[in-house]
Chain A
Amino acid sequence: MELTLKIWRQAGPTAKGEFATYEVKDISPDMSFLEMLDVLNERLITEGTEPIAFDSDCREGICGMCGLMISGEAHGPERTTTCQLHMRSFSSGETVTIEPWRANAFPVIRDLVVDRTSFDRIIQAGGYVSVNTGAAPEAHSVPVPKEDADRAFDSAKCIGCGACVAACPNASAMLFLGAKVTHLGELPQGQPERDSRVVKMLDEHDLQGFGGCTNIGECSNACPKEIPLDVISTLNADLRKAASRSR
């Protein structure tokens, strides 16, 4: 198949960016979206043009490293990661626009690569259980009801890709944050720090320049791991409880 690609090119964090247009031919429907870009890059190098920078690592949909806005949709038309999107989701002759995640808290580094370390700083603010190595009790000393463990797992599936932020008109990271708060909040191990966790993580979220949540729901629609919107309700409920308890 053949496609017209309009790709965001930006030489560096402070450089001005613009779209460049590339025609690609001989695309196999079995290629992943990133393999299609690999093929284009090989051609660009041969022609003497610098290849397009984009992030990826596992290419299995689990590391969260890849992430592109494809024709206005985070990770493209299917609900999956960019590396697991395949070219059979497109039709020959289409024009496809490819951009980096757009959010103040995710500055562009080059072309399609953005800086997502603001997510790490949110985790640093309290996205953990405080237990030193060697200080852990016997694993069976605290049973966890299966339903709770399963729900914790469902929230823990977040891969930190940032699609939720990119999809949100406010560039809010509430889905990411809600997923962590719910993961740890469902488990007995997460209870002692439950109140302080939500407060500190939310403060950090705002400090990093993410926007507020106005319940639009685009985040959850774009999430490749199908993190449900109700983790944000959990987050809000935790916040209210924390506020009432600290009074």
Chain B
Amino acid sequence: MTDTLSEYFTVGDPIADTKAPDVPIEQMWTKHQFDSALVNPNNRRKLDVIIVGTGLAGASAAATMGEAGYNVKSFFYQDSARRAHSIAAQGGINAAKNYNDDGDSTYRLFYDTVKGGDYRSRETNVYRLAEVSANIIDQAVAQGVPFAREYGGLLDNRSFGGVQVARTFYAAGQTGQQLLIGAYQAMERQVAKGTVTEYSRHEMLEVIIVDDVARGIIARDMVTGEIETHLADVVVLASGGYGNVFFLSTNAMGCNVTAAWRAHRKGAHFANPCYTQIHPTCIPVSGDHQSKLTLMSESLRNDGRIWVPKNAEDCEKDPRDIPEEDRDYYLERIYPAFGNLVPRDIASRQAKNMCDEGRGVGPKVGDFRRGVYLDFASAIERLGRPAIEAKYGNLFDMYSRITGEDPYQVPMRIYPAVHYTMGGLWVDYDLQTSVKGLYAIGEANFSDHGANRLGASSLMQCLADGYFVLPNTVRDYLAKPQARITEDHPAVVAAKNSVTERIDALLSINGERTVDSFHRELGNIMWEYCGMERTDEGLRKAIDLIRSLKDEFWRNVRVLGAADTLNQSLEKAGRVADFFELGELMCIDALHRRESCGGHFRAESVTEDGEALRHDDEFAYVAAWGFGGEDGAPVLHKEDLNYKFIELKQRSYK
């Protein structure tokens, strides 16, 4: 830490132990499970488990814990558990099955994931992920997930960016939906058996912590407005990622950080918040009204050629009127070896560079054209239109539905968009946060993807956590139950009161501006200064802007209606209030990390030819931030990343 940063944060104790046993990596998980205490089946139904979220992580955990006989309470903000955002995942799920005999193995999946994460993930957790990955496919198939099959009746595989083996299992472009329906059905089966109770349209707004141990949550019934107390022996957060801090993203409208952020404020460390994955092939922004951005599968880059006009004057022209010699196929030019197939972070950054230079295409949004062409003309000429239709027909239809343009005739326009967040609650090898009894799984935790996530590996992590890891690690904790507490315990009452007070505060401001207008403005700041490229100067500016916007929010937001009914503005207001605080921490995290890695590109840290430059000597650690109090600065706890099994290397794609 340099002195000039000391106004933004303080440094706390380093994190020494993550609880992974000290044995060779192949034996770690087996040994750890054996060493964990067991809970007698008769005692399980007396133990209450709260799980917030029913995405792949939460639903798989609820189903598994329910099957084991625990008394599970499952909370989610949608009307049905099946609608969690995992439903939207398109491409596929990785697993080291080596069904194609192409050299895949647990170790290779482990290696690819660590490298893909730009050497900022934790080896022990990633190895375990690779180890259990094969079981996930078995489990899903047994549940009736209709994966794509070969004519012989066996499972088909694809290959995905950043790897050289075909280990991605898929169900057309709806892998997330099919896997989630499998987990959801397994969970509904437990609901029928009475081991899982669902709380639909319930939003968790606070964690209850008694004597430094998580003992339950405060939730709002979004229909009646009732503020409910739910006590439990263990609390698991499976509440997904926080990409919506950017307002425009590929996430669902309701995705939010509230559950994780409330936990952070109560003592759970938040790790690497600034690592955001930007996806290069999204449909560009078309106007100010836009509520979200839509992802187009990365597979399009296999046949589409990406270009912008060489001359800024041509940007308004019909692309078909721009002759070949006036087009700049910039990825093919800069990265001749990988061309249009460079990894996500590189493709995204270069698209931004082109638009920043004034060579973007499509409608002006603000003063800028934010789009580049993804052109299939030469592929159609080479392979014929029917072949392209067979391969990408549904994506082309989706594109034309949204944009009103026919991509068979005019090139598609694409632009990068926020897609996934690699940061999240800090967890140890057991997936326990820095608060005892509070666990975090799926996208809500930080451990497996480092600074950049490879395609098809989030679904794998969510299901690994929910089906196989958490149910085994939580046992040890539950084997020694805490003394019972009651709802009139002062800490419980205080948690409940703080929720009610916050809601009353939001409803009584009655200012001039809508919640969405604040969210949009915050999103612009985040995108501009903490998006694809970050600078010291920009980040400092962003922190000031966020602080004053947050101030204005609490003085000038207008939330109409009452607390005791369905009130969507009130729901949004609470989430945006938390996004302000998270946004500030993201900028501080990005500011202190003076290196470029994965999804975090610092303009000051580049190689001679303009590529991302990591500084392993200084930054090979996880930045786990402690809450510094209402007006205090966050506290940085460093967890050193020890690469014992994989050697650190710079990535190169030239």
CB within 8 Å of B: which residues of A? 11-12, 28-32, 34-36, 38-39, 42, 45-46, 48-51, 53, 55-65, 80, 84, 86, 88, 109-110, 113, 115-117, 119-120, 123-125, 127-140, 142-146, 149-150, 152-153, 156-157, 159-160, 183-184, 186-187, 189-190
Contact = CB atoms under 8 A, between A and B. Distances in A.
A116 B79 contact: yes
Nearest to A65: B83
B292 A59 contact: yes
Contacts of B177: 62, 156-157, 159
B83 A57 contact: yes
B514 A136 contact: no
Contact of B144 (A30, A88, A115, A189): A189
A113 B289 contact: no
Contacts of A63: 78, 83, 85, 87-88, 252
Nearest to B569: A51
24 contacts: A30-B404, A35-B291, A42-B516, A46-B514, A49-B560, A51-B568, A58-B85, A60-B292, A64-B83, A64-B87, A80-B401, A86-B401, A110-B566, A117-B80, A117-B200, A120-B198, A123-B184, A128-B144, A129-B143, A129-B144, A136-B135, A136-B143, A187-B144, A190-B144
Given A57-B83, A63-B83, A120-B80, A137 B291 contact: no
Q: 6 shortest A-B CB distances, which residue pairs?
A: A143-B153, A128-B185, A136-B142, A153-B146, A136-B138, A152-B146
B47 interface: no
B569 A45 contact: yes
B147 interface: yes
A113 B566 CA distance: 9
Contacts of A84: 401-402
A138 B88 contact: no
B189 interface: yes
A145 B155 CA distance: 10
B150 to A, nearest CB: 7
A205 B443 CA distance: 35
Contacts of A49: 560
Nearest to A200: B192
Interface in B135-171: 135, 137-144, 146-155, 171
Contacts of A120: 80-82, 188, 191, 198, 200
Contact of A59 (B253, B517, B561): B253
A35 B285 CA distance: 13
B178 interface: yes
- Chain B, interface size category, equals 35 or more
Nearest to B89: A62
Contacts of A134: 135, 139, 467-468
B172 interface: yes
B82 A64 contact: yes
B254 interface: yes
Contact of B149 (A45, A55, A149, A183): A149
Nearest to B512: A46
Given A51-B569, A145-B153, A59 B286 contact: no
Contacts of A125: 192
A11 B565 contact: yes
A28 B67 CA distance: 51
Given A32-B402, A51-B568, A120-B191, 5 more contacts: A45-B514, A133-B471, A139-B97, A153-B148, A183-B146
B503 interface: no
B322 interface: no
Contacts of B401: 80, 84, 86
Contact of A57 (B140, B171, B252): B252
A124 B196 CA distance: 11
Nearest to B200: A117
A113 B567 CA distance: 11
B289 A136 contact: no
Given A34-B291, A120-B80, A146 B153 contact: yes
A30 B569 contact: no
B189 A183 contact: no
A143 B517 CA distance: 53
A33 to B, nearest CB: 11
A42 B97 contact: no
Contacts of A42: 514, 516-517
Contact of B172 (A12, A135, A138, A153): A153
Contacts of A127: 185, 188
A131 B143 contact: yes
A133 B87 contact: no
A130 B155 contact: no
A48 B85 CA distance: 32
A109 B544 CA distance: 41
B68 to A, nearest CB: 9
Interface in B376-408: 398, 401-404
Contacts of A35: 289-291
Interface in B562-592: 565-566, 568-569
A26 to B, nearest CB: 9
Nearest to A190: B144
Contact of B560 (A39, A48, A55, A152): A48
Nearest to B467: A133
Interface in B195-251: 198, 200, 223
Nearest to A78: B401
A48 B486 CA distance: 42
Nearest to A29: B404
B517 to A, nearest CB: 7
A131 B181 CA distance: 14
Contacts of B468: 133-134
B99 A65 contact: no
A28 B292 CA distance: 16
A91 B599 CA distance: 43
Nearest to A27: B289
Nearest to A127: B185
Given A35-B290, A140-B154, A128 B143 contact: yes
B106 to A, nearest CB: 16
A7 to B, nearest CB: 15
B565 A110 contact: yes
